[in-house]
Amino acid sequence: MQSLTLNCCNILLLFLFFSLLVHLPPALGIDACQKFCGTISIDFPFGIDDGCGTPDYRNMLNCTAGSLFFQTDSGSYRVISIDYNKKTMVIFDPAASTCSSLQPRKAFTMSDIQYSLIPPSPETEFVLLNCSSDSPVLHRYSSLCTNFSGHSCSEIYGACGAYWMFRSNITGIPPCCATDYTTLRFMGLDIIGCSHYTTVYNADGLRGLSPLDWPFGIELTYAVPEGTCAECRRSGGTCGFDSQTDRLLCLCSPALNTTHDCGNLPGVGRGRKAKGRICLQTFALILTFSLLAML
Ligand SMILES: *[C@@H]1O[C@H](CO)[C@@H](O)[C@H](O)[C@H]1NC(C)=O
Ligand SMILES: *[C@@H]1O[C@H](CO)[C@@H](O)[C@H](O)[C@H]1NC(C)=O
Ligand SMILES: *[C@@H]1O[C@H](CO)[C@@H](O)[C@H](O)[C@H]1NC(C)=O
Ligand SMILES: *[C@@H]1O[C@H](CO)[C@@H](O)[C@H](O)[C@H]1NC(C)=O
Ligand SMILES: *[C@@H]1O[C@H](CO)[C@@H](O)[C@H](O)[C@H]1NC(C)=O
């Protein structure tokens, strides 16, 4: 009696094992493209390895020692997060000040291509600090400075330990201006006449929040052309491109790239997966029945 229950258990376990085997996800496209950098997942339209993602973002991302970096004309910026649903990427600008550190000035700049593909979001404020009293953003272009959720220069200088120098200015508290990236891009810090700046994202959520708790960083927004990668992905492939011609590719397996998807080719993608699954299921069933018959 006891040995019979044991056998039943064994068979159950065997069956479970085979069911698991049959339901393992397919390992397609995995070899060609790195899916993670540290904890940040890398997905379409981005890619780290050449030929992955879209050619638009080629050489913009780099994974160094488990940290993801976004390269622009002005430097390498650490990627804090990527939200594939909102289509945003938050990066940290090491040359911008935060509440706890006053950084030497070095303006964030993007190439024209980057500016059109993945510009800073409207919710990202560039807060120009210690502006000279004849700064154009205080006079002719004062309309470029926003209300900044009601935060004032003296509040910012006062709350942040790193800005004590600005507080101690004998001629009075130097002006500041919260504006968007476009102002900085087209004027530059020299013309604007502000010695430092800081960047804060989620500007809509800053009302009543102390500068000590602000989310410092730059939020970038990107668009993905509708349906570009959907077919390939649905068929189990990974979207990429030919690194010589920039032609879009669907990476189906280490041995095969197609121009569209992996599904409509015999022996690849959906077709092969389905066949493999049926084969394994039949095998598991036959094995279970033979074991049962042996009892
Ligand atoms: C498929 O494309 C990727 C990315 O361009 C490339 O690395 C890989 O060598 C290609 N594989 C084949 C079999 O052509
Ligand atoms: C990758 O980013 C690191 C970190 O800033 C940088 O030092 C390095 O030059 C970058 N590598 C490439 C190939 O762009
Ligand atoms: C503030 O800006 C002035 C020029 O307008 C500059 O001389 C001064 O050094 C700046 N303050 C700090 C702390 O950098
Ligand atoms: C700007 O902020 C101040 C302080 O919170 C507020 O009283 C004022 O109504 C705001 N102005 C606009 C145009 O939002
Ligand atoms: C003090 O602030 C004024 C503007 O109010 C600015 O022109 C001047 O450069 C500042 N001085 C220093 C030493 O930061």
How far, CA to CA in Å, does 41 sit from each of 47, 84, 247? Answer: 10, 9, 24
Sorted by sequence, the CB contacts under 8 Å of residue 233 that are 6+ apart come out as 44, 239
Distance 21 CA to ligand 1 centre (A): 28
Tell me which residue has its CA closest to atom 8 in ligand 3: 195
Q: Identify whether the C-beta of residue 79 lies closer than 8 Å to the C-beta of residue 38.
A: no
Residue 68: Cβ within 10 Å count = 24
Tell me how long the chain is: 295
Ligand 4 pocket residue status of 147, Cβ below 6 Å: yes
According to the model, what pLDDT value does residue 255 have? 86
Q: If we measure between CA atoms, which residue out of 136, 144, 176 comes closest to residue 159? A: 176
Q: If we measure between CA atoms, which residue out of 181, 187, 185 comes closest to residue 123? A: 181
According to the model, what pLDDT value does residue 10 have? 58
Strand partners, 42: none
According to the model, what pLDDT value does residue 106 have? 79
Q: If we measure between CA atoms, which residue out of 191, 210, 201 comes closest to residue 105? A: 191
How far, CA to CA in Å, does 162 sit from each of 34, 100, 127? Answer: 39, 5, 15
Q: Where are the alpha helices (DSSP H) in 153-248?
A: 153-159, 164-167, 181-192, 230-234
How far, CA to CA in Å, does 105 sit from each of 47, 102, 129, 130, 226? Answer: 31, 9, 10, 11, 39
Looking at the CA of residue 256, tell me the nearest atom of ligand 1.
13
105-119 exposure pattern, b = at least 16 Cβ within 10 A, e = fewer: bebbebeeebeebbb
What amino acid occupies position 100? S
Give this prediction's pTM. 0.78
Tell me which residue has its CA closest to atom 4 in ligand 4: 150
Distance 209 CA to ligand 3 centre (A): 27
Ligand 5 pocket residue status of 133, Cβ below 6 Å: yes
According to the model, what pLDDT value does residue 289 have? 57
Residue among 31, 245, 251 whose CB has most ligand 1 atoms within 8 A, to mutate:
251
The Cα–Cα gap between 181 and 236 comes to 39
Q: Where are the domains of the chain?
A: 2-31+226-294, 60-221
Tell me which residue has its CA closest to atom 9 in ligand 4: 150
According to the model, what pLDDT value does residue 8 have? 53
SS3 141: coil
The Cα–Cα gap between 72 and 82 comes to 17
Residue ranges of the chain whose pLDDT lies below 70: 1-31, 264-295
Q: Identify whether the C-beta of residue 30 lies closer than 8 Å to the C-beta of residue 39.
A: no
Tell me which residue has its CA closest to atom 13 in ligand 5: 169
Distance 130 CA to ligand 3 centre (A): 6
According to the model, what pLDDT value does residue 203 have? 85
Ligand 5 pocket residue status of 132, Cβ below 6 Å: yes
According to the model, what pLDDT value does residue 287 have? 56
How far, CA to CA in Å, does 184 sit from each of 157, 209, 274? Answer: 21, 25, 55
The Cα–Cα gap between 134 and 131 comes to 8
